[in-house]
């Protein structure tokens, strides 16, 4: 009984937290009207459908938004602590839903392509280590997941 209530309420908690994280992200990226961006995000059919289901997608969306915020923080202040927090968020993304890790690869490739300043070059090495470490730590889990998808079509 309690487990049913938790599994019904927890995705909604993750949805509200994802909206707050998205608004935080929209405010720190200089957008002209962050409130309008938040409303569009909240009304996306994918976001609404995933928030209602009792699946881990909303949790992975929240963790991906947190990882994006930590990535931008790592770019601004490249140090080991920021890289460790970013790697921890990516590891949680991998444990929650492995496909939620894929934008991190895009972030790293984008950084490699558009490196201009010395601070960004320093952040590139921290980002590379933080992006590769979760895959190495979770390689056995990802391998099992890929085998399950290949064999059973999950």
Total number of domains in the chain: 1
Range of 81-90, 115-124, 135-144 with top mean pLDDT:
81-90
pLDDT of residue 69: 92
Check if the beta carbon of residue 133 is closer than 8 Å to that of residue 84: no
Give the domain extent around 12: 2-152
Residue 124: both structure tokens together: 């590139």
Residue 2: both structure tokens together: 């309690």
pTM: 0.79
- Give mean pLDDT, residues 46-64: 77
Q: pLDDT digits over 59-96, tens only?
A: 888 899 999 999 888 888 888 888 889 888 888 888 88
Q: What is the mean pLDDT of the chain?
A: 78
Question: Which 3-state string (H, E, C) describes 21-77?
Answer: HHHHHHHHCCCCCHHHHHHHHHHCHHHHHHHHCCCCHHHHHHHHHHHHHHHHHHHHC
Question: What are residue 138's phi and psi, to 5 degrees?
Answer: -105, 20
Specify the higher pLDDT residue, 146 or 137.
137
Q: pLDDT digits over 109-118, tens only?
A: 887 777 777 7
pLDDT of residue 47: 67
Check if the beta carbon of residue 120 is closer than 8 Å to that of residue 111: yes
Residue 58: both structure tokens together: 């909303």
pLDDT band at 147 (very low <50, low <70, confident <90, very high): low
């Amino acid at each position: 009984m309690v487990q049913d209530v938790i599994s019904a309420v927890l995705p909604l908690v993750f949805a509200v937290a994802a909206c707050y994280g998205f608004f935080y992200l929209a405010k720190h990226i200089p957008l002209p009207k962050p409130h309008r961006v938040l409303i569009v995000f909240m009304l996306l059919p994918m976001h609404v459908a995933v928030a209602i289901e009792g699946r881990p997608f909303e949790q992975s969306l929240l963790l991906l938004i947190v990882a994006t915020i930590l990535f931008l923080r790592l770019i601004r202040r490249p140090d080991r602590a920021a890289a460790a927090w970013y790697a921890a968020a990516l590891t949680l993304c991998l444990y929650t839903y492995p496909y939620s890790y894929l934008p991190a690869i895009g972030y790293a490739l984008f950084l490699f392509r558009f490196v201009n300043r010395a601070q960004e070059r320093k952040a590139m090495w921290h980002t590379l280590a933080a992006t590769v470490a979760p895959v190495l730590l979770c390689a056995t889990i990802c391998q099992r997941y890929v085998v399950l998808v290949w064999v059973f079509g999950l």
